[in-house]
Amino acid sequence: MNPDLRELYQETILDHNRHPRNRRKLEEADAEAHGHNPLCGDNVTVYVQTEDGKVTDISFDGNGCAISTASASLMTEAVKGKTLEEAEAIFKEFQEMVTSTEQEQDHSELGDLEVFAGVREYPVRIKCATLPWHTLNAALKGSESATTE
C-alpha cells in the first residue's frame, strides 16, 4: 500500500466506510436536511432528533465516497448526546483541521475525527469530508439543503 494513501485513508475511515454507523432513516427526526456535492455526486441526508438543546439521536443516509461516508458515520458518533453549542464547536474545529494550511496543529480534542487530518493534502476531497457537517448544520439551522459550493 502506498504510504501517501494511508495518510488519507486511515484504517478508521476504511472501517467506517465498510460498516457505516447510524446509517438509516430516522423516522422520529425533528430536523433533516439533504446535502449534495455537485462535483462528485455525493448525496447525504442527515436526520436529527433534539430535546432540551441536545442531540438525542442522529443518523444519515445516502451514497458517497469513502471519505464522505466515513465522515458522516463518525460525525453521528461525535455529536450524539452533545448540546447544539458543542456540536457547532466540533464542526468549527473539524473544518479548521481539514482546511488549515498550518502543519503543526493540535486537534486531539476531536478524538476519532482526527483521522481526517490527512484530507488537508487533497484539496478536492476536503468537500467530501465537510459535506455531512454542512448538512447537519443546515438541518439544525432549519434549512432543507446544503451544498459544498
Which CB atom, from 43 or from 83, has the smaller least distance to other proteins? 43
Q: What are phi and psi for residue 104, nearest 5 degrees?
A: -85, 105
Q: Considering only residues 27 through 56, tell me which ones interact with other proteins, judged by CB under 8 A.
A: 39-43
- As beta bridge partners, residue 60 has 23, 46
Number of residues that bind other proteins (CB under 8 A): 23
Four-CA torsion 110, 111, 112, 118, nearest 10 degrees = 60
Give the CB-side neighbour count of residue 79, counting CA atoms within 13 A.
35
Q: Which stretch binds other proteins (CB under 8 A): 46-54, 58-66, 81-89, 102-110?
A: 58-66
Q: How far is the CB of 127 from other proteins (least distance, A)?
A: 10
Q: How far is the CB of 75 from other proteins (least distance, A)?
A: 18
d(CA 28, CA 53): 16
Which CB atom, from 38 or from 53, has the smaller least distance to other proteins? 38
Which CB atom, from 125 or from 134, has the smaller least distance to other proteins? 125
The answer to the question of residue 18 lying near other proteins (CB under 8 A) is: yes
Q: What are phi and psi for residue 42, nearest 5 degrees?
A: -65, 135
What amino acid occupies position 81?
G
Q: Are 54 and 84 in contact, with CB atoms under 8 Å apart?
A: yes
Q: Which stretch binds other proteins (CB under 8 A): 61-69, 73-81, 103-111, 138-146?
A: 61-69
- Which residues are at the interface with other proteins (CB under 8 A)? 1-2, 4-5, 8-9, 14, 17-18, 39-43, 63-67, 69, 122, 125, 128
